[in-house]
């Protein structure tokens, strides 16, 4: 497995999360929807396919250490836990950056940009990250 392939997978997972987040209402009242809003079967299947492919390709490579984070993200995604799906992917990006810094993997300039873009995209999807909520909860 190469760095580009791992980043392709991260991009695919990020895309699934962005698509799911767009379908969520701005505010979900748990009293009205106690089970939350779950992603479609097809979305979960697509997410799972990417995670399975990474797990099979990463055997014997430095990327194997990311498998646990990807599985955690998948498990959270399956039940509709957006925050729980994003945090492990952000951890995986942190791990990739550490691997680059420690020279365990080679990351070209374009791949560095992709790392930053995926991180920014995941931060934008995080619940409570909408500009209209800035200053919310600050009182009168």
CA angle, 51 then 35 then 48, to 5°: 10
Residue 129 has pLDDT above 80, yes or no: no
pLDDT, one tens digit per residue, over 98-107 is 999 999 988 8
Residue whose structure tokens are 């479609």: 40
pLDDT tens digits for range 10-45: 999 999 999 998 887 766 554 444 455 789 999 999
Kindly tell me if the per-residue pLDDT of 90 is higher than 90.
yes
Residue 138 has pLDDT above 80, yes or no: no
pTM comes to 0.81
pLDDT tens digit sequence for 47-77: 999 999 999 999 889 999 999 999 999 999 9
């Amino acid at each position: 497995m190469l760095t580009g392939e791992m980043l392709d997978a991260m991009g695919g997972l990020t895309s699934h999360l962005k698509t799911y987040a767009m379908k969520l209402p701005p505010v979900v009242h748990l009293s009205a929807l106690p089970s939350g809003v779950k992603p479609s079967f097809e979305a979960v299947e697509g997410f799972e396919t990417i995670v399975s492919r990474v797990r099979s390709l990463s055997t014997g490579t430095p990327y194997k250490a990311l498998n646990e984070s990807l599985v955690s993200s998948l498990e959270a995604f399956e039940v509709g836990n957006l925050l729980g799906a994003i945090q492990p992917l952000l951890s995986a990006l942190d791990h990739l950056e550490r691997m680059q810094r420690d020279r365990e993997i080679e990351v070209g300039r374009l791949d560095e940009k992709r790392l930053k873009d995926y991180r920014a995209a995941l931060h934008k999807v995080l619940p409570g990250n909408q500009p209209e909520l800035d200053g919310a909860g600050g009182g009168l």
